[in-house]
Structure 1
């Protein structure tokens, strides 16, 4: 499916997203703990053991306190998201430390980051194919422009191993990444030119057995509010 995007000289986010992509790309390439996935068309990275077992346990407990039936974006009922989710408290000292570590890994200014969201998936729950970025055709596009603009990078952490299922799938790459406790998955929702990358289509596959816990942090092109 093809999408029509604004040209680079008309979209105020594009140049900023291109520069941000270049900076994060260079930072991750210089970090020996970061592994770049061997895929074409998407910048996709992994970091094993980013969180310790004790940190994962503590984060799981926090997710349980905030998890509610997941709203779809702006209550869009077509997203196929059936998990439980909730924003963690950004003022919590432990969460502030977690956010700072992710910011530092990517080298992204903290003010560009959204509040971390925790998600819990039970058996059968999933998040069907979707993009993390926004499309100009969506009715909330102007609202998101005022709130910080386009989403750039996604950082998603697995907090536990799952007995079966729960992979993060990238269907256009024919790739799925299974949950690994403490691992951080990172991808650029933009292409090298700073424009939305259709290859970033992804899904949280249904959990077959067990429960899946994840944390997700999204970044914007401009300070988020």
Structure 2
């Protein structure tokens, strides 16, 4: 009897992820306000002053209102994420305006984006090296597959300057991006072939002085529920 091995979702969905990558890449490369960071291993872009100082201050207040100890899919058993985080109100007109701006930058339909999550890092807090894409062999994957599938792109905005520490580090590239108030960092979690890119491993390094505030928006392969 001949057995047939089911293909992993990574391979099955790769062509669709690759097409999304092509569209977003072309849009960002054509935007003069967007700077592509000089690395070949991953597609990562920056936009200076994406948020105004007033928008940063308002977002910081919203993050503080929802911030709770940050969860992870493995219940933070390794104490790898020691920040505070929470989802902001997706129906707030201010949040909807900002989400439309990020959607337009990337050219991804609004329905594919998760709710903006805010994060606060106080001195000593960090997020150890991790991936934004999902492990399709993990027990949580069937749930996430039904909620929009893989996380393809990440958009992360810095709301505050930090006196020391708190950089976003991609150790396998390697590249390290210090917090820059108002800036937006965008990267593709997939490789050009549409499969998860292990070189996108990244960490939020410990804050040494000051308080780091960021907002993150993840985009799914399909509409997010």
TM-score by length of 1: 0.94
Q: Which residue does 2:38 correspond to in 1?
A: 38
Aligned length: 219
Asked if residue 100 in structure 1 is aligned to residue 100 in structure 2, the reply is: yes
User: Does residue 154 of structure 2 align to residue 154 of structure 1?
Assistant: yes
Which residue number in structure 1 is paired with residue 163 of structure 2?
Answer: 163
For residue 35 of structure 1, report the CA deviation from its aligned partner. Answer: 0.2
1:134-145 equivalences under 5 Å are 134-145=134-145
Structure 2 SS opposite 1:157: strand
Shift of 1:139: 1.0
1:37, distance to aligned residue in structure 2 (A): 0.3
Residues 1:48 and 1:6: Cα distance change in structure 2 (over 3 Å): same
Cα distance, 1:78 vs. partner? 3.2
Q: 2:73 and 2:47 mapped to 1: Cα distance?
A: 28
Which stretch of the first structure deviates more once superposed, 189-198 or 73-82?
Answer: 73-82
In the TM superposition, what whole-angstrom CA distance separates every residue of 1:41-96 from its partner, at most 9, and x where no partner exists? 10000000000001000000110001001111263523600000000000000000
Cα deviation digits, residues 1-46 of structure 1 (max 9, x gap): xxxx9376x52x2222111000000000110000000012100000
Name the structure 2 match of 1:65.
65
Preserved contact between residue 121 and residue 207 of structure 1 (Cα < 8 Å):
yes
Unaligned runs of 5+ in 1: none
Partner of 2:209: 209
Aligned partners of 2:9 and 2:136 also within 8 Å: no
| CA drift at 1:137 | 1.9
Which position in structure 2 is the counterpart of 1:6?
Answer: 8
What does residue range 109-120 of structure 1 map to in structure 2 within 5 Å? Answer: 109-120=109-120
Stretches of structure 2 lacking an aligned partner (at least 5 in a row): 1-6
Whether the 8 Å CA contact 1:72–1:79 is kept in 2: the answer is: no
Largest Rg, 1 or 2: 2
TM-score using structure 2 length:
0.94
**Alpha-carbon distance between aligned partners in 1 of 2:126 and 2:97, rounded to the nearest angstrom:** 29
Post-superposition, which runs of at least 4 consecutive aligned residues in structure 1 deviate over 4 A? Answer: none
SS at match of 2:45: strand
Do 2:160 and 2:213's aligned partners in 1 also have CA atoms closer than 8 Å? yes
Deviation at 1:146, TM superposition (A): 0.5
Q: Which residue of 1 aligns with 2:15?
A: 15
